[in-house]
Amino acid sequence: MDSPLCPYCGCSLGRLGISREDATAFSYEGEELLFCCQGCLDGFQGDPERYLAEIRELIVCPTCLAEKSRDLAVSIEHDGETVYFCRCPHCVERYEKEPEPLLARLAL
């Protein structure tokens, strides 16, 4: 499960404290995208494919909510799903102790 990323700036909406209801929504090629603000949506519309490509391989660490490139992240299996983390061992340890509240933050 991933926290939505603003397609323009690449920030995790969860880290920014922006709920799905408060995000700026925009439909692009049949998919609903969530932006942190109207300014990011305006910027995105100038070159949507570029910005989608830039965030395609980003993950959000469920513990610290940091955005990281998937190739720089570490992962574990949890309930049959791969969960990605920043490389901090503390983040994985904390998650393994109490994963559900941390996963809930990603769901917004």
User: What is the Cα Rg of the chain in Å?
Assistant: 14
- Dump pLDDT digits (tens) for 1-23: 466 899 999 999 989 999 989 99
Residue spans of the domains in the chain: they are: 13-57, 59-107
Strand partners, 5: 12
pLDDT at 3: 67
pLDDT at 1: 47
CB atoms within 10 A of CB 75: 13
- Please give the angle made by the CA atoms of 45, 49 and 51, to the nearest 5 degrees: 75
CB atoms within 10 A of CB 74: 15
| Residues 80-85, mean pLDDT to the nearest whole number | 93
- pTM here is 0.84
| Residues 85-95, mean pLDDT to the nearest whole number | 95
- Pairing state between β 58-60 and 67-69: antiparallel
